[in-house]
Structure 1
Amino acid sequence: MKNFNLYLVLIILFFGSCKDKKVEFEKPISIIDKVSEQYEYLYENAIPFVDTDKPMPRTIVNGKLHTVGVYDWTSGFHPGSMWNLYGLTKNEEWKNRATYYTKLLDTIQYWEGTHDLGFMIGDSYGNALKYVNNEDYKKVMVQAAKSLSSRFKPKAGIIQSWETNDRWKCPVIIDNMMNLEMLFEATKISGDSTFYDIAVTHADTTMAKHFRKDYSSYHVLDYDTETGEVLKRNTAQGYQDESAWARGQAWGLYGFIVMYRETKKPKYLNQAKKIAGFIMNHPNLPEDRVPYWDYNAPITAQTPRDASAAAITASALYELSTYVEGDLKLAFKDEATTIVETLSKEPYLAEVGTNEGYLLKHSTGHLPNDSEINVPINYADYYFLEALMRQREMVK
């Protein structure tokens, strides 16, 4: 009884002290607020580089912000991320900043020396067109599509990726599936079906020749441009030629989802579902759903993860879930949500004011080349923001 009376006294004292006072509870900071505040920090860190020949933030090297020029294959991701932030926040500052950085890429539209124009122009100017009806932007997209089309090898049915070298005559990488979306957009803008036809031809050849029976993908195929014969099946960034490089699997998944969206051909949807199945059911996929850098790499405590592969996969699966029904729809959506939830907290999401302003930690760029291992990378942030946008649209 004595203890009960003491308990009553403590309750009376507590509520008495709160009388005439408003009890305030700290409102949790939303993930949108966090990413916006963090990218504000990145934006400020990048300002000193704006007027240099390397204005685009890419990663961290030796603990410091590392920037690259506009001809780097990742140059479109920084403006693209700011367009995504504008989409998430409707803050005009992000729109203004995205516009400025997008225009830095103007000359890239004429560059025929790369297959990465979809990343560089599609993710900058292409995203801009989602929010701004600008005729000049449309012209850039069409010109970039023309430049990319110059790399098409009709007899082989593919768009050449890298230049010929001592190892390969006509190398084509699975990443190239990500550049086809820009060709579809160019057809919509211009009415020229040539771009559409090239995208379909490249995708069909890739589907027939780039994938194994388990729907994992090789990284690099070497083609004879006259006969279309595959001369070699290799890797450049994976563990082994026969292994499944994690980001490559995500590129393939995303690319064939785009193919279905733009053509509505069931074969592309089926391909995407099969690739998703390979990723989601792989025995080496960790419980938190962030893959190791290669699905077949030896796993130790030091084996690096690839948050960028996870972010790409999450964004892709959200879209894929909109094209299927029933249990499959729930499975793809739940997998994407699990990945986003994992990436939205430690150890992957950086604390605001750290990580030089990048959102995600623990991505792997090119491990065999000892490059960008266990670091933030701009494309990981880009696809994470895109996944957040798609998640919000699904909630709506």
Structure 2
Amino acid sequence: MRQGLVAAALAAVAVTGCSAPPAPTAPPAPSETPVATARDASAAADPAGPVLTFADARLAATADGLAPPAYPVRTNPDGTWLTKDAEDWTAGFLPAALWRVFERTQDPVWRDRAERWQAPLASETTHDDTDLGFKMFMTFAVDHQLTGDESAKQTALAAADTLAARFNPTVGLIRVWDDRDDAEKYQVNIDAMMNLELLYWAGQNGRPQYTDIANRHAQRTMTDLVRPDGSTSMFGGYDQRTGALQRTYTMQGFKDDSTWARGQAWAIYGFATAYRYTQDPRYLETAHRTADWFTGHLPPDRVPYWDFDVPQAPPEPRDTSAAAIASSALLELSQLDPARAAGDVDAARGMLTSLSSPEYLSRNTPFRSILIHGTQNLPEGQQDSGIMFGDYYFVEALNRWERQVGPSAQLG
């Protein structure tokens, strides 16, 4: 039903700034399709070529149809993008995705797009209460890595300075989302592992002291937020006067002792990244342990529900963004630990195959995202939509697949 050429799909969803799309038919909830069946469906769904061709076209339509600083966050019920300004923690994901396409294609058109969407984020270097790693590493630091641009490097380093200032040596962690004047309220989430690459990179680029901050944060997160069985808690609450852990809890998961799917994916990715920069075997072991827990609790089609402790069946919503993040992390792990590479690649293949199928790809729908059926924050009613960060990690994972394994067409 969702078959057809990329051009036909784009005609249905071209981003036009202010005109409304046709009233959509909501995509059906995905079924419990076994992976083998999903692979067959994916092959039939992509006659025009690799899924990356479709993904690139979707990103181009978004980048050229909207204008910064209106950053796409997630899709509205009619399939259009809900946008927010540069202060939002998600603002970096569109320019980050554009940089990844430039990395793969070396086409200057994509560099121009990335630079245009990245530019309004430059003022975010001193924004204290946000996820600067997401916003500034994957834009300005990656810009410097790909182009050698010195001003981009300095912007990323300025952001690292702000992030490092949030570190409390008594607690040994980087604070998130709280009032620094409240001595008994010091919150840290598993997501913050994704900020550490900005500090590790800065440690290699003139800020060596930031490597120690990143390591201290990773080590305490490993102790406090990763459970013995490899599952994770979303949040730890600390007394910043003593550094004592007071409780673990959730804000976006099902309950305080459940395992929120995207948080588990952040853990896999964050600890794999920490190992890449440090070669500390504790980080590799933790990345594998959290990955094994994630893949061992997936439903038959390999795309998780939003929390692993809710009933693993409809009408509970899926979270395609968690699958995309975990897929990219597993492909990273396959490069870091050759002894387990085959298993990590196979686990990534299962998830990417399902994500590339008609169940989860937005082809021939009015949705302007690449993926559908993502859950950003269910307690706040943000579920069953396309999500820009899900699209970013899907493109990153497909890039890694093509670089490390073979053409993404093989995912069909």
TM range (shorter): 0.7 to 0.9
Secondary structure, in 3 states, of the residue corresponding to 2:204? Answer: helix
Query: What is the CA distance between 1:27 and its match in structure 2?
Result: 6.7
Deviation at 1:351, TM superposition (A): 1.1
Q: Please tell me whether the aligned partners of residues 260 and 269 of structure 1 are also in contact (alpha carbons under 8 angstroms).
A: yes
Structure 1 unpaired stretches of 5+: 1-25
Which AA in structure 2 matches 1:343? L
Equivalent residue for 1:374, pick from 362, 380, 384: 384
1:180 equivalenced with 2:196 (yes/no): yes
Q: Deviations over 1:66-92 (max 9, x none)?
A: 111000000010100111111233222
Shift of 1:252: 0.6
Tell me the equivalent position of 2:28.
Answer: none
Equivalent position of 1:29 in the other structure: 49
Q: What letter matches 1:261 in structure 2?
A: R
What CA deviation, in whole Å up to 9, does each residue of 1:142-194 have, x standing for no partner?
A: 1101100111010110000111399970110000000000001112121x211
| Distance of 1:150 and 1:206 partners within structure 2 | 18
Q: Distance in 2 between matches of 1:30 and 1:210?
A: 38
Q: Are the equivalent residues in 2 in contact too, given 1:186–1:195 (CA < 8 A)?
A: yes
- Give the C-alpha shift of residue 281 in structure 1: 1.1
Contact 1:164/1:171, CA 8 A, preserved across alignment: no
Question: How many Å separate the matches in 1 of 2:184 and 2:65?
Answer: 40
Q: Secondary structure at the match of 1:189?
A: coil
Q: In structure 1, which of residues 343, 356, 359 is the aligned counterpart of residue 370 of structure 2?
A: 359
Query: Matches of 1:131 and 1:368 in 2, distance apart?
Result: 38
Equivalence map 1:176-215=2 (5 Å)? 176-190=192-206, 192-215=207-230
For the 8 Å contact 2:71–2:91, the answer to whether it is kept is: yes
**Does the C-alpha gap of structure 1 residues 323 and 94 become closer, same or farther in structure 2, counting only changes over 3 Å?**
same
Partners of 1:120 and 1:219 in 2: CA distance: 20
> How far apart are 1:316 and its partner, in Å?
0.1
Kindly report which structure 2 residues correspond to 1:158-307, keeping only aligned pairs within 5 A, or say none: 158-164=173-179, 169-190=185-206, 192-282=207-297, 285-307=298-320
Residues 299 and 312 in structure 2, CA contact (< 8 A), matched pair in contact too: no
Structure 2 residue identity aligned to 1:376:
G
For residues 352 and 108 of structure 1, the distance between their equivalents in structure 2, rounded to whole angstroms, comes to: 36
Contact map agreement 2:183 2:241 (CA 8 A) in 1 = no
Stretches of structure 2 lacking an aligned partner (at least 5 in a row):
1-45, 407-412
Map 1:66-215 onto structure 2 (within 5 A): 66-114=82-130, 116-164=131-179, 169-190=185-206, 192-215=207-230
1:214 is displaced (CA, Å) by 0.7
Greater mean alpha carbon deviation, residues 124-133 or residues 69-78: 124-133
Q: Which residue of 1 aligns with 2:350?
A: 338
Amino acid paired to 1:34: F
- 1:325 alignment partner, one of 332, 338, 356: 338
Shift of 1:45: 3.0
1:354, CA displacement in angstroms?
3.1
2:402 alignment counterpart: 392
CA distance in 1, matches of 2:302, 2:227: 22
CA contact (8 A) 2:253 2:259 kept: yes
Which protein, 1 or 2, shows the higher relative CO under an 8 Å CA cutoff with sep ≥ 6?
Answer: 2
Between 215-224 and 26-35, report the one with greater CA deviation. Answer: 26-35
TM-score scaled by length of structure 2: 0.84
Q: CA RMSD in A?
A: 1.8
Whether the 8 Å CA contact 1:160–1:170 is kept in 2: the answer is yes
Other structure's SS at 1:233 match: strand
Range with greater deviation from structure 2 (245-254 or 219-228):
219-228
Answer yes or no: is the 8 Å Cα contact 2:77–2:385 preserved in 1: no
Cα–Cα, structure 1 residues 366 and 39, in superposed 2: closer, same or farther, change >3 Å? same
Q: Report % sequence identity.
A: 35
Asked if the contact 1:38/1:353 (under 8 Å) is kept, the reply is: no
Quick check: which has more Rg, 1 or 2?
1
TM norm structure 1: 0.87
- Whole-Å separation in 1 of the counterparts to 2:179 and 2:194: 21
Show the counterpart of 1:315: 328
| Counterparts of 1:329 and 1:300, CA distance in 2 | 31
After superposition, the C-alpha distances for 1:100-122 in whole angstroms (9 at most, x for unaligned) are 111110011122223x0000101
Q: Is 1:32–1:89's contact at 8 Å kept on the other side of the alignment?
A: no
1:11-30 to structure 2, matched below 5 A, reads: 28-30=48-50
For 2:21, the equivalent position in structure 1 comes to none
> Aligned partners of 2:263 and 2:278: how far apart in 1?
22
Compare 223-232 and 144-153 and name the one that shifted more: 223-232
**SS at 2:205's partner residue?**
helix
Any conservation in 2 of the 1:32–1:88 contact (CA below 8 Å)? Answer: no
Offset, 1:127? 2.0
Supply the AA of the counterpart residue of 1:378.
Answer: M
